[in-house]
Amino acid sequence: MNYVCKYDSPIGPLYLGEEDGHLTHLVFSKADPRLGGSVFGETSLLKQTKQELDEYFAGTRQSFSIPLRAQGTMFQEQVWGKLLEIPYGETRSYKDLAQSMQSPGASRAIGITNSRNPISILIPCHRVIGQSGNLTGYAGGLAAKQFLLELEQKHV
């Protein structure tokens, strides 16, 4: 069975989803279709996720210990894996990610994949910026992305 709960964060409400002992979703809307079929409830994993998010937003946690399961195509899962390699407080461009995957022409596909990240914050898509250094789209909005980047910069 899939469970989902709400987490009130400094960037607005977040919805956490769990399946079989893995965090599968951290999204910005309870209407997100990826949460369909879930039961509202708080499991021990979802409570732990909330605790780790509290610590992250307080600036005392830089990495997470939550078991993740982000399901997508092989390419999507590779991109999400690369996002996990971006250190806390640092950013990479879409071009940087494409080059690290030995796919220099894949910047646009990486951007699309980034927008489909099912586990925001824990899979840190907010750490990806435009080649020029400008902030680019974020599911939670650019203000949320800027907040997360500034939070991390303050606690590096």
CA torsion, ordered 30, 84, 56, 31, to nearest 10 deg: 0
- pLDDT computed for residue 32 by the predictor: 82
Q: Give the closest residue to 52 by CA, choosing from 105, 121, 113, 4.
A: 121
125 is catalytic: yes
148 and 81 in a common domain: yes
- Asked if 40 and 93 sit in the same domain, the reply is no
The secondary element (H helix, E strand) that includes residue 4 is strand 2-9
pLDDT of residue 81: 96
pLDDT, position 67: 98
**Domain, as residue range, for 126:** 74-154
Shared domain check, 8 and 51: yes
Residue 35 confidence (pLDDT): 84
pLDDT at 30: 83
Q: Are residues 143 and 88 in the same domain?
A: yes
Q: What is the pLDDT of residue 49?
A: 98
Do 41 and 87 fall within a single domain? no
Of 125, 139, 144, 149, the active-site residue reads 125
What pLDDT is stored for residue 1 in this prediction? 65
What is the full per-residue pLDDT of the chain (156 aa) written as tens digits?
699 999 999 999 999 999 999 999 999 988 888 888 888 899 999 999 999 999 999 999 999 999 999 999 999 999 999 999 999 999 999 999 999 999 989 999 999 999 999 999 999 999 999 888 888 888 899 999 999 999 999 998
Least Cα distance to 121 among 98, 140, 101 occurs for 140
Verify that 30 and 85 share a domain, yes or no.
Answer: no
Same domain, 106 and 80: yes
